[in-house]
Amino acid sequence: MSNSASNQSSTVQFRHFIDGSFCDSSDNRTFLKRNPADNRIVGHVAEGGRSEIDRAVQASRTALEGPWGKMSVEERSALLYKVADEITRRFDDFVAAEMADTGQPKSMMEHAFIPRGAANFKIFADVVKNVPNESFQTPTPDGAGALNYAIRVPKGVVGVICPWNAPLLLMTWKVAPALACGNTVIVKPSEETPGTATLLGEVMSAVGIPDGVYNVVHGFGKDSAGELLTQHPGVDAITFTGETRTGAAIMKAGADLIRDVSFELGGKNAGVIFADCDFDAAVDSAVRSVFLNCGQVCLGTERLYVERPIFDRFVAALKDRAETLKPGHPEAKTTTLGPLISQEHRNKVLSYYEKARQEGATVVTGGGVPKLEGELAEGAWVEPTIWTGLPETAAVVTEEIFGPCCHIAPFDSEEEVIRRANATEYGLSTTIWTKDLSRAHRVAAKIDVGITWVNSWFLRDLRTPFGGSKQSGIGREGGVHSLEFYTELRNICVKL
Ligand code: NAD
């Protein structure tokens, strides 16, 4: 039994982590968290409000002045390595917590999401030791000159607001660089996924991260812990991953505070498949990019454009593969498809399945709810779904659904497919499949997104700039780019 999650009357309590201690809300409010695979109660989560956010801000401001603020980069970096090692040591606890929160297959937690959570700490522990510096010899009228140089200092207290779709991975992608740069953080995890953020509090204590450096306040968004965090004058910067319209609300809430934001937002990503591609590899990749995590991946593909000569063959191949996906218990080795995150999200996804039908789509496969037996019968399941035949204006072609579904359309020319891929308010990612590398470079340069994969998908190097253009985000994180957000640059001019 962990410190953070106590077992009273067979229900787990997820508590806030403030100033190095686990605690309940001052008014003892809690809310229920259910596992979306079977709808069973995972536990009761402390519901934070003004008092918890105030306490977390106070603790994190105090920590900036304490031992944390006085540590050298090398000392901080060594501690972050210990955080990574402790996550690895408690690997099974993290896998179990994330599986209970999301209902996704254990294999995905073990091979991708939890290892990436640990890796995030290592990469930023290294990056921060190699910060690029700039200095200038500046001429002056007396001929003696001046030396201009810049130093980087932490931003201060960073509010980290997280989504539910890859909880540990996405949270540590922000917490790790923030801490590496010497900031303190207040994390508001998604109300759907309290588990791993809470466990990380235990890890921070175990390895000796000083009190108040890493804080977690659970709760909801609007009129709750999330919004209160964005409005607090004691918070110096907000980094957020989530829906575009939530990003807009966060910007408005903090507008009077003139505060830096880093936003990783929604997407409606296109996959572009040319007829000369490696067909089998392109199909394999499309299966992953459309259906991984039950389609709840920001970088996933919901629009596929396939060059006409291979269109029918591609649709048939993807249909066959979609129909082999097996929903099931997260622990079962045979499970290849998890549930959606909640019944509420399932209602949203099913409403798009209905809209597609109303707008005249050909439903190639899926479009409904699979029948699962026994304990899984109450889960938030939907069928993997493929549509064809819709115009570019249809709701399922223009709006982010965040489910295991895609629309496939044929195209006839490079110019046409570039225009159609760009005809969206979003600009997160795209994939291009072709053996003609000149064409790949040409098309990649013209698609307005933050990240383009050629002949691959989700191949990540954590040193590269990551983020979206248009309504998919503000700013870039990753490698040294994260330093731009998590530090303030100070120019010092010395007259010689
Ligand atoms: P969401 O915007 O509903 O919620 C994200 C977080 O914001 C939650 O913690 C929530 O409680 C909080 N929140 C909600 N309203 C708030 C408010 N008014 N003020 C402050 N906080 C508030 O997003 P979600 O449904 O959890 O996640 C799915 C979305 O995230 C999708 O749109 C997906 O594309 C996006 N996403 C983007 C990336 C990326 O890197 N670009 C990565 C993962 C997910």
- Tell me the per-residue pLDDT of 135-144, one tens digit each, with 9 for 90 and over: 999 999 999 9
Ligand 1 center–CA 241 separation, angstroms = 5
Considering only CA atoms, which residue is closest to atom 18 of ligand 1? 222
Instruction: Look at residue 4 in the predicted model and tell me its pLDDT.
Output: 53
**Between 195-207 and 73-89, two packed helices, what is the crossing angle to 10 degrees?**
120
Q: Is the dihedral of CA 419, 244, 116, 66 positive or negative?
A: positive
> Half-sphere exposure of 31 toward its Cβ, with a 13 Å CA cutoff?
13
Considering only CA atoms, which residue is closest to atom 37 of ligand 1? 265
Ligand 1 center–CA 242 separation, angstroms = 2
Atom of ligand 1 nearest to the CA of 249: 18
Collapsing DSSP states into helix, strand and coil, what is residue 77? helix
Atom of ligand 1 nearest to the CA of 192: 26
Ligand 1 center–CA 443 separation, angstroms = 30
Pocket of ligand 1 (CB under 6 A): 161-165, 170, 188, 190-191, 220-222, 226-227, 230, 241-243, 246, 249-250, 264-267, 298, 400, 402, 428, 468, 472-473
Atom of ligand 1 nearest to the CA of 190: 9
d(CA 162, CA 150): 32
Mean pLDDT of the chain: 96
Separation in Å, CA 408 to CA 17, 307, 311, 440: 46, 10, 9, 20
Mean pLDDT for the stretch of residues 264-287:
98
Instruction: Look at residue 11 in the predicted model and tell me its pLDDT.
Output: 67
- Which long-range contacts link 376-380 to residues 24+ away (Cβ below 8 Å)? 376/37, 376/38, 376/327, 376/328, 376/329, 378/38, 378/39, 379/36, 379/37, 379/38, 379/39, 379/103, 379/339, 380/36, 380/37, 380/39, 380/103, 380/339, 380/340, 380/341, 380/342, 380/343, 380/345, 380/346
Active site residue 375: no
Q: How confident is the model at residue 121 (pLDDT cuts 50, 70, 90)?
A: very high
Are 217 and 225 in contact by the 8 Å Cβ rule? The answer is yes
Considering only CA atoms, which residue is closest to atom 13 of ligand 1? 221
Considering only CA atoms, which residue is closest to atom 39 of ligand 1? 264
Would strands 16-18 and 385-388 be described as parallel, antiparallel, or unpaired? unpaired
pTM of the model: 0.96
Q: Is the pLDDT of residue 119 over 70?
A: yes
Separation in Å, CA 103 to CA 42, 164, 200, 400: 11, 11, 20, 22
Mean pLDDT for the stretch of residues 103-116:
96
Element (H, E) at 432: strand 429-433
**Which one-letter DSSP state was computed for residue 344?**
H
Q: Is the pLDDT of residue 156 over 50?
A: yes
Are 278 and 433 in contact by the 8 Å Cβ rule? The answer is yes
Atom of ligand 1 nearest to the CA of 345: 25
- Token pair in block for residue 197: 């953020």
d(CA 243, CA 187): 17
pLDDT tens, residue by residue, 1-21: 354 554 444 568 999 999 999
* Marked catalytic residue, from 98, 264, 302, 477: 264
pLDDT tens, residue by residue, 38-60: 999 999 999 999 999 999 999 99
- The count of other CB atoms within 10 Å of the CB of residue 8 is 8
Pocket probe mutation, ligand 1, options 53, 161, 192, 198, max atoms within 8 Å of Cβ: 161
Mean pLDDT for the stretch of residues 455-461:
96
Considering only CA atoms, which residue is closest to atom 23 of ligand 1? 242
Q: Is the dihedral of CA 173, 289, 367, 362 positive or negative?
A: positive
